[in-house]
Amino acid sequence: MDYKKSNAPINTITRDVNSLCENTENVYETVAIIGKRANQISVEIKDELKRKLEEFSGNAVDNLEAEVFDNREQTEISKYYERLPKPVLLATQEYIEDKTYFRNPAKIK
């Protein structure tokens, strides 16, 4: 998933808790849903970053120019991921936009 295209805010903003829990009618369930999705997003982002940075670790660099270029690319990749919204902000935005699938097995009859 391309998280850069998400319209989630970069900074934390205040949300109306009552409007967030309209779907579940339970604040704690809503927080649990958003928290679990934030953990999933965090794992996805970490795996993606790890895959991109592994490309640099396998290369044996012989000269200084190539090493500087690789370091510059690694820095750019790291900066890209640092500028992304935090996983909890992405998860909250997905929840607000009804892009999060969730179910409560206790409520299914």
**10-residue block means of pLDDT along the chain (109 residues)?**
74 87 91 95 93 73 60 84 91 92 79
- Residue indicated by tokens 């120019």: 65
* Biggest CA pair distance of the chain: 66
pLDDT number for residue 8: 82
**Closest by Cα among 74, 92, 100 to 10:** 92
**Closest by Cα among 18, 2, 1, 6 to 89:** 6
pLDDT number for residue 69: 62
pLDDT number for residue 64: 58
Cα radius of gyration rounded to whole Å, the chain: 19
Q: pTM of whole model > 0.85?
A: no
pLDDT number for residue 106: 80
